[in-house]
C-alpha cells in the first residue's frame, strides 16, 4: 500500500481539520481507494520539499505526487476513471464553481464565526505562524476579525443557493454525491472538527444534507475526531 | 415559422426585461433557432390560459407548449440535442445550482438596488399588480425595500464565487457559454434594461464576462431596447 495523504493536524495528531484535505479524503473514499495519512503541521515546510510545495493536501500515489485539492480530484478522475468526481465538459467547467463557492462565499463566513476555536485547535508550535499569516490576510487581529454574529449572518446569506439546490435533490450532484458535494462539504468538516458552533439550523435543507454527508463512506466524517473528543482541549 | 415566445414587456412594447425570458432568448439563439416574441403584460393572465400557466416565459414550438424558463432549456436540449445547454448527468445536476444562485443570491441583491427603476419601467396598467404582489413578498413597501447601498453591498458579496470562476475562464461554462451563463446573465439583462445602475465595476472579472455576454449571438443583449432609449421614460 503506497498511497499516502499528507494531512494537516491540530493540537492532537488525530485532529484533522483542513477543508482541502477533507475534500481529498472523501474523494479517495468515493473511488474506493485505500490510503494512509501522514500528520503534518503548518510549520513542517521541509517535510513537503519533495513535492516542491508548502501546503497540504499532498497525495503520493505510487510514483505520482500531486498537490492542491482540486488538482488531486482531477488526477483521481484521470487515474481512476470509474465513478467520476469532476467529470468532463460542462460538468467539469461547472464543478470549478463549487470550489470558488466554498472558498470565497462559505469559508470566509465560517472563518469569521469560528476563528478563535480554530486558533485553539491548532498545535501550539503552529500558533504563531497561523496568527501571523491570518492577521496579515485579514488586515486585523484574530480577535478583531472574530465576529460570530456577522459570520453567521454572512453564512446565512451565502447558503441561499445551496438551500434551493438541496430542496431539489439529496445531493448537490443529484441522487449521489460527487465533486461538488465534496468541495463544499470540506468546509463544513473544517468547522465541525474544531468548533461546536451551530452553523445551520436543523430546519434547513442544508442540515439534512450535512447529516447525509457525515454518514457517507462508512461515516468517515461522523467518526472524525473533534476537538471535544480530546480531554482538556476545548476551552 | 411557428415558434413563439411570450415575453414580458414594460411601459413600451419593445422594452423586454424579464430575467427568465432573457434566459430563453439566449438559449434559443444558442441553438440557432428562429422565433417570434409576443409582448405580454403581467396582468394578461387570460392570454396564457391556453398554456395553463400565468407567467412568462411560455414557449410555443409547433405543437408543443412549454412553461418555466428552466423547463424550456431542458426541453430545448431534448428537442434539439446539438450544442447542449444543460447537458446530462453531473452537468445537469450542477446546472440547477446556477438557477438558484441567480434567483436567490444575485436577483434579491439587484432587486434591492433597482426596484424603483423597475417600477418606473413597468407598464402603467401593470403597476398596481406589481406593487401589490411585491410588497406582499417583501413584507414592506417598495420604497422601504429600496436600498441601493444595501443591495450593492449584498451583490458584491454574492458575486465572490462568480469572480473566481471568471478569473479561471471566459465563461462560467468554460471556453464557450451554455446554460450556466444564460441562467445567471438573465438577471443582469433584467437590471440593464430597466436601470442605469452600475452593478459591477469595470475592474471586476465579472465586467469582462458581461461585455462578452452582451456581444454573443449578434449582440442580442447589447441591442436590446433599454429604458433610456425610450423618450421621456426614464425618470
In a domain, A235, yes or no: no
pLDDT over threshold 80, residue A235: no
**Out of A90, A160, A163, closest to residue B84 by CB:** A90
The answer to whether A3 touches A34, Cβ cutoff 8 Å, is yes
For position B232, what pLDDT does the model report? 87
Whether B215 and B103 map to the same domain: the answer is yes
| pLDDT tens, residue by residue, A31-60 | 999 999 999 999 999 999 999 999 999 999
Residues B186 and B208 in one domain: yes
Strand partners, A174: A171
Q: By CA distance, what is A83's nearest residue in B?
A: B90
Do B119 and B44 sit in the same domain of this protein? no
Assess whether pLDDT exceeds 70 at residue A1: no
Task: Count how many domains chain B has.
Answer: 2
Q: Is residue A234 part of a domain?
A: no
Contact A233, A39 (CB under 8 A): no
Q: B193 and B121 in contact (C-beta within 8 Å)?
A: yes
Tell me: pLDDT of A72 over 90.
yes
Q: Contact B157/A157, CB-based, under 8 Å?
A: yes
- From the number of C-beta atoms within 10 Å of its C-beta (0-12, 13-18, 19+), residue A124 rates as exposed
Question: What pLDDT does B66 receive?
Answer: 98
Residue B161 grid coordinates: 464565487
Angstrom distance (rounded) from CA B215 to CA B29: 12
Tens-digit pLDDT string for chain B (235 aa): 589 999 999 999 999 999 999 999 999 999 999 999 999 999 999 999 999 999 999 999 999 999 999 999 999 999 999 999 999 999 999 999 999 999 999 999 999 999 999 999 999 999 999 999 999 999 999 999 999 999 999 999 999 999 999 999 999 999 999 999 999 999 999 999 999 999 999 999 999 999 999 999 999 999 999 999 999 887 7
State residue A161's pLDDT score: 98
- Considering the domain boundaries, does residue B161 fall inside one? yes
Within a domain: A177 = yes
Q: Which of B103, B163, B165 sits opposite A96 (nearest CB)?
A: B165
- Are the beta carbons of B23 and B68 closer than 8 angstroms? no
Residue finishing a domain among A59, A79, A99: A79
As a whole number, the mean pLDDT across chain B is 97
Q: Quote the CA–CA distance of A72 and A92 in Å, as a whole number.
A: 14
- B110 and B65 inside one domain: no
pLDDT of B177 reads 98
Edge-to-edge strand order for the sheet containing A64-67? A36-40, A3-8, A58-61, A64-67
Of residues A148 and B234, which shows the higher confidence score? A148
| Phi, psi angles (nearest 5°) of residue A34 | -75, 150
| A176: closest chain B residue by CA | B90
Residue A189 CB contacts under 8 Å (≥ 6 apart), including other chains: A17, A19, A22, A221, A224
Domain CATH number, residue B32:
3.40.30.10
**B119 occurs within a structural domain:** yes
In a domain, A150, yes or no: yes
Q: Are residues B39 and B99 in the same domain?
A: no
Q: What is the pLDDT of residue B2?
A: 82
Question: Does a structural domain hold residue B179?
Answer: yes
B149 and B68 housed in the same domain: no
Last residue of a domain, one of B54, B79, B104: B79
> In the numeric block, which cell numbers belong to residue B11?
411601459
Q: Taking CA A29 as the corner, what is the angle to CA A26 and CA A34, rounded to the nearest 5 degrees?
A: 130
Looking at residue A209, its pLDDT comes to 98
Question: Do B94 and A180 make contact, defined as CB atoms within 8 angstroms?
Answer: yes
Stretch A3-12: mean pLDDT: 97
* pLDDT of the residue at A232: 87
A144 and A168 assigned to the same domain:
yes
In percent, how much of chain B has pLDDT > 70? Answer: 100
Contacts of B96 in chain A (CB under 8 A): 165, 168-169
Q: Which of residues 176-205 of A touch B (CB under 8 A)?
A: 178-180
Work out whether strand B36-40 and strand B3-8 pair parallel, antiparallel, or are unpaired: parallel
Supply the CATH number for residue B137's domain. 1.20.1050.10
Residue-wise pLDDT tens digits, A156-211: 999 999 999 999 999 999 999 999 999 999 999 999 999 999 999 999 999 999 99
Q: Which three cell numbers stand for residue A186?
A: 470540506
Q: DSSP states of B49-103 as a string? A: GGGT-SSS-EEEETTEEEESHHHHHHHHHHHS-SS-SS-SHHHHHHHHHHHHIII
Do A94 and A207 lie in one domain? The reply is yes
Predicted local confidence at residue B1, as pLDDT: 59
| Strand A3-8 versus strand A36-40 pairing type | parallel
DSSP-derived secondary structure for B123-169 = -GGGHHHHHHHHHHHHTS-HHHH--HHHHHHHHHHHTHHHHHHHHH-
| Whether A181 contacts A216, CB under 8 Å | no
d(CA A111, CA B43): 47
Helix, strand, or coil (residue A28): helix
Q: Which chain B residues are within 8 Å of A171, Cβ to Cβ?
A: 93
B52 and B101, same structural domain?
Answer: no
CA–CA gap between residue B139 and residue B157 (Å, rounded):
23
pLDDT higher than threshold 70 for residue A148: yes
Grid cell for residue B27: 438559449
Q: Does A101 sit within 8 Å of B161, measured CB to CB?
A: yes
CA distances from B3 to A164, B51, B59 (A): 31, 14, 7
Determine the pLDDT at residue B235.
Answer: 72
Residues 6 or more apart from A129 whose CB is under 8 A from it? A42, A43
R_g of chain A computed on alpha carbons:
17
For residue B57, cis peptide bond before it (omega within 30 degrees of 0): yes
What cell was used for B231? 423618450
One domain, residues A217 and A103: yes
Q: Which residue in A90, A100, A163 is closest to B165 by CB distance?
A: A100
**CB atoms near residue A61 (< 10 Å):** 19
Q: What is the pLDDT of residues B104-134, one digit of tens each?
A: 999 999 999 999 999 999 999 999 999 999 9
Name the domain boundary from B49, B79, B109: B79
What the block records as the C-alpha cell of B114 is 433597482
The boundaries of the domain holding residue B41 are 3-79
Q: Residue B97 and residue A161: Cβ atoms within 8 Å? A: yes
Domain membership of residue B16 (yes or no) is: yes
Look-up: residue for cell 441561499?
A: A160
Residues A66 and A115 reside in one and the same domain? no
**pLDDT average, residue stretch A4-19:** 98
Here the ipTM equals 0.97
Q: What is the DSSP string of A137-202?
A: HHTS-HHHH--HHHHHHHHHHHTHHHHHHHHH-SBTTBSS--HHHHHHHHHHHHHHHH-----S-T
Would the CB atoms of A94 and B173 count as touching at under 8 Å? yes
| Residue B178 CB-half CA count within 13 A | 26
Which pLDDT score, from 0 to 100, does residue B203 have?
Answer: 95
Q: Residues A44, A124: one domain?
A: no
Amino acid at each position: 500500500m503506497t498511497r499516502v495523504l499528507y494531512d494537516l493536524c491540530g493540537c492532537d495528531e488525530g485532529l484533522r481539520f483542513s477543508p482541502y484535505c477533507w475534500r481529498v479524503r472523501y474523494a479517495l473514499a468515493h473511488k474506493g481507494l485505500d490510503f494512509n495519512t501522514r500528520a503534518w503541521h503548518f510549520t513542517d515546510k521541509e517535510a513537503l520539499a519533495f513535492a516542491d510545495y508548502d501546503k497540504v493536501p499532498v497525495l503520493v500515489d505510487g510514483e505520482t505526487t500531486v498537490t492542491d485539492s482540486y488538482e488531486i480530484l482531477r488526477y483521481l478522475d484521470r487515474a481512476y476513471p470509474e465513478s467520476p468526481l469532476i467529470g468532463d465538459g460542462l460538468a467539469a467547467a461547472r464543478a470549478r464553481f463549487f470550489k470558488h463557492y466554498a472558498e470565497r462565499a462559505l469559508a470566509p463566513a465560517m472563518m469569521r464565526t469560528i476563528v478563535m476555536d480554530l486558533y485553539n485547535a491548532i498545535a501550539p508550535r503552529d500558533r504563531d505562524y497561523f496568527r501571523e499569516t491570518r492577521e496579515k490576510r485579514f488586515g486585523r487581529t484574530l480577535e478583531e476579525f472574530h465576529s460570530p454574529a456577522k459570520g453567521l449572518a454572512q453564512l446565512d446569506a451565502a447558503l441561499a443557493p445551496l438551500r434551493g439546490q438541496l430542496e431539489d435533490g439529496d445531493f448537490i450532484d443529484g441522487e449521489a454525491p460527487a465533486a461538488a458535494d465534496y468541495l463544499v462539504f470540506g468546509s463544513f468538516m473544517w468547522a465541525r472538527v474544531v468548533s461546536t458552533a451551530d452553523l445551520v439550523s436543523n430546519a434547513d435543507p442544508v442540515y439534512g444534507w450535512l447529516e447525509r454527508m457525515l454518514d457517507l463512506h462508512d461515516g468517515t466524517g461522523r467518526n472524525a475526531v473533534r476537538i471535544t473528543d480530546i480531554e482538556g482541549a476545548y476551552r
